[in-house]
Amino acid sequence: MARRLAVLSLLFTLSLPIFAADKLIALTFDDGPRPYVLYGTPDAPGLFSVLDKQNVKATFFVMGWRLTPKTWGDHRYETNIGITCIDAAKEALKRGHEIEDHTYSHVELKTAERKKGEGWVIGDVEQGAKVIQAVTGSKPQYVRPPDWILPDDARRDLEHRGFRILTISSENPIQLRDINSLDYLCAGKAPKNCPKPSLTSSVLKQIEAREKHGISNHILAFHELTTTTAMMPDLISQLKSRGYRFVTLKEYMAAVSSKTTEQNVGK
């Protein structure tokens, strides 16, 4: 019995790095920092503790305007728990998460460019980067434009400035394309359009569809929402049981970009 256990544990040890190298998830959350979601409220667990319990490090695409002094969130919709967004961002870093750029104002950039010009769009991304840098000490590398909408000229200019743009477009190899979880459809008290039978199963279905193309690395795009926080323990457990390892976006890109070949383009 002891010998069998030893063999099993040896096999487990040997196989783990193989799984770990092959199946990666970058879990990302947009639109924060929202202190009431991250720390939780008496009625709802916080995303920080949910991620800690699963030992998962995530990446937060934040709205720059929140990272200004004395900002506790959007007072129309969000519970003020007495913690500023800046302090929530610092706490995210302390817990090993990453912070990236979701623009400063979070307006839709195609319309903004038409009304205010390309320079304004670049400025909105750079302003987001600046307030993030003031908190993290380093310039963010990744930008996810609101609703993934970004005019082509602005995309090129941002890439020249060193940003990498997150996208759902088929221009990117499939491993470097976000999976849109559609979690915002499940927010609120009586969401009508939340995927059936559940958000978890619909995300898993999207992953399975990619696996059929031989893709076993995925960037999952969620939002800082209490409803999303509530489904995370189940989703994370299910993905772990399928052999996935959770990494930050930087770790994901370092591992996946180098392996991604031209043949994935257009899949």
Please, which residue, 113 or 178, has the CB nearer to Zn ion?
Answer: 178
Asked if 145 touches Zn ion (CB under 5 A), the answer is no
Q: Please, which of residues 16-35 interact with Zn ion by CB under 5 A?
A: 30-31
Token pair 């004395």 in the structure block, residue:
70
Please, which residue, 24 or 38, has the CB nearer to Zn ion?
Answer: 38
Distance in angstroms (rounded) separating the CA atoms of residues 233 and 91: 20
Please, which residue, 140 or 146, has the CB nearer to Zn ion?
Answer: 146
Q: Please, which of residues 154-193 interact with Zn ion by CB under 5 A?
A: none
Q: Note whether 109 and 84 are within 8 A (CB).
A: no
Q: Note whether 140 and 98 are within 8 A (CB).
A: no
Report the largest interatomic distance among the alpha carbons of the chain, rounded to a whole angstrom.
Answer: 73
Asked if 146 touches Zn ion (CB under 5 A), the answer is yes
Q: Is 117 exposed, middle or buried (0-12, 13-18, 19+ CB in 10 A)?
A: exposed
- The full 3-state SS of 74-106, as one line of letters, equals CCCCCCCCCCCHHHHHHHHHHCCCEEEECCCCC
Radius of gyration (Cα) for the chain, nearest Å?
A: 19
**Residue 164 beta carbon to Zn ion: minimum distance, rounded to whole angstroms:** 17
**Residue 145 beta carbon to Zn ion: minimum distance, rounded to whole angstroms:** 9
Residue range at the interface with Zn ion (CB under 5 A); choices 21-29, 38-46, 141-149, 245-253: 141-149
Residue range at the interface with Zn ion (CB under 5 A); choices 18-26, 68-76, 146-154, 192-200: 146-154
* Site size toward Zn ion, by CB under 5 A: 3
Q: Which residues bind Zn ion (CB under 5 A)?
A: 30-31, 146
